[in-house]
Amino acid sequence: MTDAITVEKEDRIAWVYIDRPKAMNSIEPDTMKEMHGVFQALGEDDDVAVIVLAGAGKHFGAGYDLKFDWTGHYGNTVLGWRKMLQECVDFEFLPWDCQKPVIAMVRGYCLAGSCELAMMSCITIASEDAKFGEPEIRFSTSPPAIVMPWIVGLKKARELLYTGDLIDAAEAHRIGMVNKVVPEADLEAETRKLAKRIAAISPEGLLTTKSSINQTAEIAGFRTSIAYGINQGAMLDASETQALKEFSRIREAEGLTAAIRWRESQFE
């Protein structure tokens, strides 16, 4: 384990932090395994009514860690990529599957897998400086969980997923990705205030209401559509597009930062 997850408890609220600030709270397999254990324990903890999910430091998260050797870990085959995507989706479903309400508290960057994690949470509160987006398509890959259409609708999801563009907190609120936007200085206080209000509801009421809402989406095909996306994404990730070949060449020769700068410069 990496000790990448920090948990604090107060007033029947559990504050769960992805604690990798030097890596912008990016996600890798050990972090995913650790989070599974944390959510299982909190789900069974009768002293916890609400979970707040956040990132330590300045950012909620930059998505999956591009410095991690995903190919070496899972293998560069369709089956290897499918296994990776399935494990990522299982991780992203943790806030959804937890029987207790989960509030995502977002500041700074909330990108890619981290953005999906926030969307899978029951409620999202963001600071005014937050930035949201799914830039994966620029690097010849796709989100493990195509959850965005279910949150913001087909038209806006197509725009954001086709371009990889980022949006600010105000736009995320306008399209329904975020419940509330507050000044950075007020983010923790506003999140705590909402969490306390929810924690005052009976556990039975929260459990049945959350499960009913989730079941409505799942009857409509939510989980099935994401499962389909895993198979499609595995074939894309195993493909060597021209953009991916050049990105990999620059990364090998000049480093990850230079490769990202090269790719992002084409969208300025």
Active site residue 116: yes
Instruction: Enumerate residues 6+ apart whose C-beta is below 8 A from 17.
Output: 5, 6, 7, 8, 54, 55, 56
Taking Cα atoms as reference points, which of 122, 262, 150 lies closest to residue 206? 122
* Encoded tokens for 226: 């994401």
Q: CA–CA separation, 196 vs 172, rounded Å? A: 24
Task: Respond yes or no: is residue 136 known to be catalytic.
Answer: yes
Local structure of residue 197 (DSSP, 8 states): H
User: Which of 28, 92, 116, 134 is the catalytic position?
Assistant: 116
How close are the terminal C-alpha atoms of the chain, in Å?
Answer: 39
Distances (CA, A) of 190 to 29, 69, 144: 32, 38, 31
- Give Cα separations from 233 to 76, 133, 160, 183, 267 (angstroms): 13, 18, 17, 37, 23
Which is catalytic among the residues 28, 92, 134, 136? Answer: 136
Rg over alpha carbons for the chain, rounded to the nearest Å, is 18
- Report the interhelical angle of 78-92 vs 222-237 (nearest 10°): 140
Asked if 103 contacts 51 with a C-beta cutoff of 8 angstroms, the reply is yes
| Nearest CA-CA partner of 38 in 91, 113, 114, 112 | 91
What b-and-e string marks burial along 84-97, b requiring 16 or more CB atoms within 10 Å of the CB?
Answer: bbbbbbebbbbbbe
List residues with catalytic annotation. 116, 136
